[in-house]
Structure 1
Amino acid sequence: MSSEHALAARQKIRQEAAAIGIDEAFISRLVDEFYDRVRLHPHLGPVFNGAVEDWPEHLAKLKQFWESVALNAGVYSGRPMQAHLKVRTIEAAHFGEWLYMFEQTLRDIAPGEAAVEYFMIRASRIGESLKLGLFFRPDNATH
């Protein structure tokens, strides 16, 4: 893909997101609000609080992640699967709780239903991918 074409594609995604109220400011608010809630959650809080040493740094990284996911910003360069593999307290059930809380946060603060759907499609895909990567290990399966 040429750099001109990539830039045009990125601009189109940003314009479509902006039309439904999604921009860097909304993403920042979403990440802050959602992880404030997560940190207090009876099941998710201990997992996140036990794994995250520097919350301001982690939140900044999460904002870059979601800007890259939602706006194709290209500002995130981490490796989410490797980071999650290090957290031994994650259980498969946590993903459903995380997704439910994410949707509730969106419903509370998103500018409209289109923004909720836009994020939930992506969050569902990401959650499923992480869950499969963490808990479905064909090499450990019994035959």
Structure 2
Amino acid sequence: MPPDLQDRAAHRAEAEAKAAADMAAIGIDPIFIDRLVETFYGRIQTHAVLGPVFEAKLHGRWPEHLGKMKLFWQAVALRNGAYSGRPVPAHLGVSGLKEPLFADWLALFGETLDDIAPSPEARDFLMASAERIARSLILSIFHNPAVTLTRS
């Protein structure tokens, strides 16, 4: 392997190890991420407003979606590159997807974190990440630069 690729690989490995250690210190690890995804999307499925939108898109494919979301949140928290999908195209053209639903999604995510987050620091990290993700999706999907989401 050429030296510059070795350097990049070593740097990436160091960054992943640091992220994993930092997250473990506040209680975020792959086991917690699995629990978070399972709990949150279980609540999504029964949510009066969000449930039908998700079900219309994911009918019969919930296990596949949960697997992707576990990889996605591992990549966000652990910086391990586990997720290689494209979130914006996945959300384009979703029937019933409206900008206000992102606030509902964030509120439910915050409630889930309130119930199961292993520490206040874990809750704050994951909530801030979710807010950034929601803002990015809104900007990409609805082209609305005046996005204001309230923090739960």
**TM-score normalised over the length of structure 2:** 0.87
Amino acid at match of 2:19: I
Measured after TM superposition, the shift of residue 5 of structure 1 is 1.1
User: Structure 1: which 4+ aligned runs deviate by more than 4 Å?
Assistant: none
Superposed CA RMSD in Å reads: 1.3
Query: Which letter maps to 2:138?
Result: K
Match of 2:25 in 1: 19
Q: Distance in 2 between matches of 1:17 and 1:86?
A: 34
Corresponding residue pairs, total: 138
Amino acid at match of 1:113: P
Residue 56 of structure 1 and its aligned partner are, at CA, apart by 0.6
Residue 47 of structure 1: how far off its partner (Å) = 0.4
Q: In structure 2, what is the Cα distance between the partners aligned to 1:112 and 1:131?
A: 28
- Superposed, which structure 2 residues align to 1:17-56 within 5 Å? 17-53=23-59, 54-56=61-63
**Structure 1: 5+ residue stretches without partners:** 139-143
In structure 2, the residue corresponding to 1:78 is in which secondary structure?
Answer: coil
Unpaired runs of 5+ residues, structure 2, are 1-6, 146-152
Tell me the equivalent position of 2:104: 97
Matched, 1:63 2:56: no
Q: TM-score, normalised by structure 1?
A: 0.93
What is the alpha-carbon distance in structure 1 between the residues aligned to residue 112 and residue 37 of structure 2? 9
